[in-house]
Amino acid sequence: MSSRLPWGILGTGNIAKAFAKGLASSKTGRLVAVASRSKEKADQFGAEFGVKRCHGSYEALLADKDVQAVYIATPHPMHAEWAIKAAEAGKHILCEKPIGINHAEAMAIVEAARRNDVFLMEAFMYRCHPQIRKLVELLRAKAIGEVRLIRASFGFNAGFNPESRLFKNALGGGGILDVGCYTTSLARLVAGVAQGKDFAEPIDVRGMGHRCETGVDGWAIGELRFPGDLVAQIATAIQLTMDNQVRIFGTDGSLVIPDPWIPNRDGGSSKIILQAKGKTDEVVVEAGAPLYALEADTVAAHIDKRQAASPAMTWDDTLGNMRTLDRWREAVGVVYDSEKFETCSAWIQTRPLAPRKDRTMKYGRLEGVTMPVSRLVMGVDNITTMPHIFVMFDDFVERGGNTFDTAYVYGAACEKALGQWVKKRGVRDQVVILDKGAHTPYCTPEDMTRQFTESLERLQMDYVDIYMMHRDNPEVPAGEFVDVLNEHVKAGRIRAFGGSNWTAERTDAANAYAKQKGLKGFAAVSNNFSLARLVEPPWGGCIASSDAKSRAGHTKTQMPLMAWSSQARGFFAGRADPKDRSDKELVRCWYSDDNFQRLERAQQMAKKRGVLLIQIALAYVLCQPFPTYALIGPRSLSEMRTSFGALDIDLGPEDLAWLNLER
């Protein structure tokens, strides 16, 4: 008995009870503890299911040394907080579906599991039932030929109760997240199997539906298009009874799963009805155990595999499903209050942000800036939604990053979102803000002040640490820009300044003027710098400093360089291939014979050192003989993680020269 996996359940609602009942007949698990926000409820649950350790708080269960695996059975918006805390407490996790309310939360949970080396699975119990294995087997054997169309629905009629979990905005109500997530996960599974993969991501997601007065979806349909023109029609509801079936149509027949989602709750058999070659067959599948027992046994069977997760629902599958749900909700217009700019909450983490103990960040100093400046600088223009911002920026800071790059031309939404995050997190005195303005055609001292004033309003700040002219205008004497920038420094609105896309000659002219007048000069420049040479600038008026003359100039003057497109916009991320010309911008800006040679050498070095290609490319920027700061634009936490790996790589002069084809 004691070799069985000891489980603790977090939450005492409907599904917690169903799981406790199922666990009692599992082959591998035993329920040792339960936690509720109220001790009384925990005791009641304990009495019903014979559990002795009944905790009056979720924290107490996570501190319980006898618990090894935690089942998170709270409403969806609480999943992320408690899954992350469970991972940090070293507990293996089975987290109810959907794993979070959006893709950003899912990323944060997956990264926490990875970092803390614990098992994690999203509790799609239907995937643990042998019926799904049989379905995959039939599709792989082409029992209905090539799959072309999938129809799946999951819905029920719960009337309308604004206070219930199903309808409450603050509890992530609505059909799409509650049961629509099953239909997306099945469609993605089937589309993947049809292409010989584990799952596939839709290239197009459309939808429409009805929103209740709480803003959550009462019913909705979705249309997904996968590569190969495989299409899926999905439907969900919390206010309509539906047929709750799956039908899959192929070139040689079709199949129906009459009970796809909650088959054999108490054990028994289920069936798949196959119509092909002019006949109808019933394929009977024996469950072997109650559904939730199968789920608990699936966890136990894969717990030692950690990141490899369970094939029933892998981490990448979960992340893809959450992204599809985001797109479906967007099509239907369901945005939770906690996700909106005005009402967004301090995302997931309620504790103050602080760099983690294992951080690897390196810092430099810029004259005038009081804080050390992190060598990796987080670009703000790739960030999409407030949840995405919280998850990405929080992670950046926890990894030791503190410097953010934004600009007036990135748009009001960008500057406002950065400002909102800084305000909500209360970290203004812990971060370095690099803002830029006066982009062509507004590159005059007057326009600069006008745009900068507006930027401060958008950022909700009274100063920025570094301000850069976003472009140069050679028709204006450099000294005129220096004069006005010094006025802003004197007024306390800027700590340091510089030029982005400024030539060495113009930078020298600005600094010579400043010296002569006893004023502050440029503290840094921000031009392109990367291992790959810019063949053609992505945008007008851009300047690269990757050539030998510029590097020699920076080495001599030690003028800090804040390198934009430091990773050559995907050239080193596995997207560049001389034969693949589909990414027009990549081809136009970075495709050249010598860049492909650099790519080849970087690949060789990465292999030899056991690191990633992208890390070698970024290390090339960081290891120059003059102060460099690499502007990065990760879109996901895994891109963030891999970028940070570059900080540990040391490249000497010989390595730099070899990578750059100078040896």
Ligand X SMILES: NC(=O)c1ccc[n+]([C@@H]2O[C@H](COP(=O)([O-])OP(=O)(O)OC[C@H]3O[C@@H](n4cnc5c(N)ncnc54)[C@H](OP(=O)(O)O)[C@@H]3O)[C@@H](O)[C@H]2O)c1
Residues that bind ligand X (CB under 6 A): 11-16, 36-38, 41, 73-76, 78, 96-97, 123, 125, 165, 171, 178
Q: Which is nearer to ligand X, 64 or 96 (CB)?
A: 96
Question: Could you tell me the smallest distance in angstroms from the CB atom of residue 261 to ligand X?
Answer: 8
Q: Which is nearer to ligand X, 295 or 465 (CB)?
A: 295
Q: Which is nearer to ligand X, 10 or 532 (CB)?
A: 10
Q: Which residue in this structure is represented by tokens 């292409």?
A: 195
Q: What is the DSSP code (8-state) at residue 217?
A: E
Give Cβ neighbours of residue 542 (< 8 Å, ≥ 6 apart).
Answer: 501, 527, 528, 534
Q: Which is nearer to ligand X, 13 or 288 (CB)?
A: 13
For 479, other C-beta atoms within 10 Å of its C-beta total 16
Q: Which is nearer to ligand X, 87 or 606 (CB)?
A: 87
Give Cβ neighbours of residue 146 (< 8 Å, ≥ 6 apart).
Answer: 194, 250, 251, 252
Cβ(656)–Cβ(623) below 8 Å: yes
Q: Which is nearer to ligand X, 38 or 453 (CB)?
A: 38
The span from the CA of 568 to the CA of 578, in Å, is: 15
For 75, other C-beta atoms within 10 Å of its C-beta total 19
H/E/C letters for each residue in 572-620? HHHHCECCECCCHHHHHHHCCHHHHHHHHHHHHHHHHHCCCHHHHHHHH
**Dihedral of CA 448/379/546/519: which sign?**
positive
End-to-end CA distance of the chain: 66
Q: Which is nearer to ligand X, 37 or 359 (CB)?
A: 37
Give Cβ neighbours of residue 98 (< 8 Å, ≥ 6 apart).
Answer: 76, 79, 106, 122, 177, 181, 321, 322, 325
Beta strand 403-405 pairing with 376-379: parallel
Give Cβ neighbours of residue 153 (< 8 Å, ≥ 6 apart).
Answer: 183, 234, 235, 236, 242, 243, 244, 245
Question: Could you tell me the smallest distance in angstroms from the CB atom of residue 234 to ligand X?
Answer: 17
Cβ(219)–Cβ(208) below 8 Å: no
Q: What order of strands is seen across the sheet that includes strand 29-35?
A: 53-55, 29-35, 5-10, 69-72, 92-96, 120-123
Cβ(543)–Cβ(565) below 8 Å: no
Greatest distance between any 2 Cα atoms in the chain:
93
Cβ(551)–Cβ(545) below 8 Å: yes
Q: Which residue is nearest to ligand X (CB)?
A: 13
Give Cβ neighbours of residue 645 (< 8 Å, ≥ 6 apart).
Answer: 611, 612, 615
Q: Active-site residue among 85, 91, 97, 436?
A: 97
Question: Could you tell me the smallest distance in angstroms from the CB atom of residue 99 to ligand X?
Answer: 9
Q: Which is nearer to ligand X, 161 or 251 (CB)?
A: 161
Q: Respond yes or no: is residue 97 known to be catalytic.
A: yes
The span from the CA of 13 to the CA of 16, in Å, is: 5
Question: Could you tell me the smallest distance in angstroms from the CB atom of residue 341 to ligand X?
Answer: 23
Q: Which is nearer to ligand X, 76 or 493 (CB)?
A: 76
Q: What is the DSSP code (8-state) at residue 533?
A: P
Q: Which is nearer to ligand X, 293 or 640 (CB)?
A: 293
Q: What is the DSSP string of 322-383?
A: HHHHHHHHHHHT---GGGSTTT--S-S--SPP---TT----EE--TT-SS-EESEEEESTT-
Q: Which is nearer to ligand X, 56 or 355 (CB)?
A: 56
Question: Could you tell me the smallest distance in angstroms from the CB atom of residue 447 to ligand X?
Answer: 50
Question: Could you tell me the smallest distance in angstroms from the CB atom of residue 22 to ligand X?
Answer: 10
Beta strand 373-374 pairing with 279-286: unpaired
Question: Could you tell me the smallest distance in angstroms from the CB atom of residue 55 to ligand X?
Answer: 10
The span from the CA of 629 to the CA of 378, in Å, is: 10
Give Cβ neighbours of residue 45 (< 8 Å, ≥ 6 apart).
Answer: 9, 12, 16, 17, 20, 34, 36, 51, 54
Beta strand 246-250 pairing with 230-237: unpaired
User: Catalytic residue positions?
Assistant: 97
